[in-house]
């Protein structure tokens, strides 16, 4: 599935609310957050890489190419997306890139399939995931042909909001259902920002489809 779609896991956040460091390497149920994300995301795409700055050796156990931002300074996830689009265009034969955040261990297993289907109905658009009426701009399918416009947006205009570029480029929304966990409903894009979030994820791990 998705062999003609490149994938990038965005793991370049500063993790201030977790005390700094690499949030994606935090342990969850005996594996790292990044392991959980990769186990769900990797089967959905072809070539897969990791977006992160700094010493790539700290991700040696992940066995993925690590892409440092092509834009200087900490420009946020949009810089990681630009880097990945340029990587996909230069080093793969893929015409689209799927993105996923590295701190979201319950992401949908049909994420890419559904994004591809929606984008096919509006060629050239960005397909962006939604749930519970909320956008998740770091979970999207991007045409590699958008890379030049994105570079101008990020470098020349110095605008860093992912959603702002998606709105300008043109998009289609893809709604994902909430997950069942006992009597509760959980957002499949639930992300780990605080120690309390990590503790909640530990509790959810046993009740959500592995």
Helices 77-91, 162-169: crossing angle, 10 deg rounding? 60
- Mean pLDDT confidence for 114-130: 95
- With cut-offs at 50, 70 and 90, classify the pLDDT of residue 57: confident
Q: Looking at residue 209, what is its pLDDT? A: 59
- With cut-offs at 50, 70 and 90, classify the pLDDT of residue 19: low
- H/E run at residue 127: strand 126-131
Mean residue pLDDT across the chain: 90
Question: Does 69 carry a binding-site annotation?
Answer: yes
Question: Does 90 carry a binding-site annotation?
Answer: no
Q: Looking at residue 207, what is its pLDDT? A: 75
CA 7 from centre of chain: 8
Question: Does 11 carry a binding-site annotation?
Answer: yes
Lowest mean pLDDT among 1-5, 11-15, 59-63, 79-83: 11-15
Q: pLDDT of 77-121, one tens digit each?
A: 999 999 999 999 999 999 999 999 999 999 999 999 999 999 998
Question: Does 158 carry a binding-site annotation?
Answer: no
- With cut-offs at 50, 70 and 90, classify the pLDDT of residue 184: confident
Q: Are 160 and 183 in contact (CB under 8 A)?
A: no
Question: Does 103 carry a binding-site annotation?
Answer: yes
Domains and CATH numbers, the chain: 5-207 (3.90.550.10)
- With cut-offs at 50, 70 and 90, classify the pLDDT of residue 14: low
- With cut-offs at 50, 70 and 90, classify the pLDDT of residue 135: very high
pLDDT of residue 210 exceeding 70:
no
Question: Does 12 carry a binding-site annotation?
Answer: yes
Residue 27, beta-bridge partner list: 32
pTM: 0.92
pLDDT of residue 15 exceeding 60:
no
Separation in Å, CA 137 to CA 1, 54, 161, 199, 210: 22, 24, 9, 25, 24
* Cβ atoms within 10 Å of 50's Cβ, excluding its own: 25
């Amino acid at each position: 599935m998705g062999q003609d779609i490149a994938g990038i896991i965005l793991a370049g956040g500063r993790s201030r609310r977790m005390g700094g460091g690499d949030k994606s390497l935090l342990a969850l149920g005996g594996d790292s957050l990044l392991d959980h994300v990769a186990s769900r995301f990797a089967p959905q795409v072809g070539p897969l890489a990791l977006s992160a700055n700094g010493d790539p050796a700290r991700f040696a156990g992940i066995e993925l190419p690590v892409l440092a931002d092509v834009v200087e300074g900490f420009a946020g996830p949009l810089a990681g997306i630009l880097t990945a689009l340029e990587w996909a265009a230069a080093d793969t034969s893929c015409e689209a890139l799927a993105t996923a955040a590295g701190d979201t261990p319950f992401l949908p297993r049909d994420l890419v399939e559904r994004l591809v289907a929606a984008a096919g109905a509006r060629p050239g658009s960005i397909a962006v995931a939604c749930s519970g009426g909320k956008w998740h701009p770091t979970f999207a399918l991007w045409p590699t042909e958008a890379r030049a416009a994105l570079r101008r947006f990020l470098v020349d205009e110095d605008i860093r909001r992912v959603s702002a570029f998606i709105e300008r480029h043109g998009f289609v929304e893809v709604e994902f259902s909430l997950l069942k966990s006992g009597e509760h409903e959980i957002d499949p894009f639930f992300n780990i920002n605080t120690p309390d979030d990590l503790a909640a994820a530990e509790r959810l791990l046993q009740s959500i489809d592995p």
